[in-house]
């Protein structure tokens, strides 16, 4: 499931992030890539400066942790520290699949990838995130502060930037439900469940849908 999360970051948070990034050092993105990805990865990433990274992580997680849409769609069990990436003219990231196992300390499985766009789409040309889906390639280039989540197993790429600067924050999530089809079914069922709970929480139909959702989650969740 490919899902947009609008306005995950507000203007004040974006301003704080840009203030930090403006005086930060960036390094070759290949340093964090695996063998296959390093052959097609051409970007820069924020240098590993713990104090700056922690400051940025706190800003972003303040919103991610409180996003009801993110929690319901992703069912997050573990969220990786964010990577902040920059694409200047001529930079791109070819076709690749994200690593299945992530983490420098405790290791975890990557089920869902998330990209948060940090600058306006009209401030750069190119740089579309292109995700291969069963319905064809989907191009994503969102407003600053908006995010997109998609299965980490998807083949995806970033088109070459031809003007300006593309800034994004990236993370990977281990979900309580590892199967993407099961997560999508639960999300769709939960949308109907929420509507019914608001309309008539005590009806038999609402109670049956609520019980079905809860027990499917119990059946599929890994803790």
Query: From the first residue on, what is the mean pLDDT of each consecutive set of 10 residues in the chain (223 residues)?
Result: 97 97 94 83 94 93 95 96 96 96 87 98 98 94 98 97 98 97 98 96 96 98 95
Same domain, 40 and 87: yes
The total number of structural domains in the chain stands at: 2
Same domain, 145 and 169: yes
Same domain, 68 and 23: yes
Same domain, 23 and 117: yes
Distance CA 6, CA 31 (A): 31
β-partners of residue 40 are: none
Same domain, 97 and 193: no
Contact present, 18 and 56 (Cβ < 8 Å): no
Same domain, 158 and 203: no
Expressed in angstroms, the distance from the first to the final Cα of the chain is 22
Tokens of 144: 């600053």
Indicate the pairing of strand 108-109 with strand 112-117: unpaired
Nearest to 154 by CA among 175, 177, 124, 132: 132
CA distances to 26, 30, 93, 94, 111 from 36, in Å: 22, 10, 12, 10, 19
Same domain, 100 and 203: no
Same domain, 34 and 61: yes
34: left (phi over 0), alpha (psi -120 to 50) or beta: beta
CA distances to 106, 133, 171, 177, 218 from 78, in Å: 10, 25, 10, 12, 18
Same domain, 151 and 209: no
Same domain, 168 and 199: no
Give the range of the structural domain holding residue 216, as residue numbers without chain letter: 180-220
Same domain, 85 and 109: yes
Contact present, 60 and 169 (Cβ < 8 Å): yes
Contact present, 162 and 125 (Cβ < 8 Å): yes
pLDDT value for 31: 87
pLDDT value for 177: 98
Same domain, 28 and 53: yes
Contact present, 49 and 184 (Cβ < 8 Å): no
Contact present, 128 and 106 (Cβ < 8 Å): no
Distance CA 123, CA 22 (A): 16
pLDDT value for 104: 75
| Angle of the 50-64 helix axis to the 11-22 helix axis, nearest 10 | 170
CATH number at residue 171: 2.60.120.620
What letter does residue 4 receive in the DSSP assignment? E
Distance CA 159, CA 136 (A): 16
Nearest to 6 by CA among 190, 150, 124, 148: 148
């Amino acid at each position: 499931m490919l899902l947009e999360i609008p306005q995950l970051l507000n203007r004040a948070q974006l301003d704080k992030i840009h203030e930090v990034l403006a005086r930060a050092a960036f390094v070759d993105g290949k340093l964090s890539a695996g063998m296959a990805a390093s052959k097609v990865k051409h970007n820069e990433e924020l240098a590993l400066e713990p104090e700056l990274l922690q400051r940025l992580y706190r800003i972003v997680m303040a919103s991610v942790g409180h996003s009801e849409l993110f929690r319901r769609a992703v069912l997050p069990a573990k969220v990786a520290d964010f990577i902040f990436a920059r694409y200047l003219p001529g930079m791109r990231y070819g076709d690749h699949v994200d690593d299945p196992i992530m983490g420098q300390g405790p290791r975890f499985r990557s089920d869902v990838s998330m990209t948060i766009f940090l600058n306006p789409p009209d401030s750069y040309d190119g740089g579309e995130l292109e995700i291969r889906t069963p319905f064809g390639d989907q191009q994503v280039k969102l407003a600053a502060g908006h995010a997109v989540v998609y299965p980490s197993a998807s083949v995806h790429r970033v088109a070459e930037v031809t003007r300006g600067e593309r800034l994004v924050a990236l993370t990977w999530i281990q979900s309580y439900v590892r199967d993407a089809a099961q997560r999508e079914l639960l999300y769709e069922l939960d949308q109907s469940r929420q509507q019914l709970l608001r309309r008539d929480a005590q009806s038999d139909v609402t109670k049956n849908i609520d019980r079905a959702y809860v027990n499917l989650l119990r059946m599929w969740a890994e803790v």
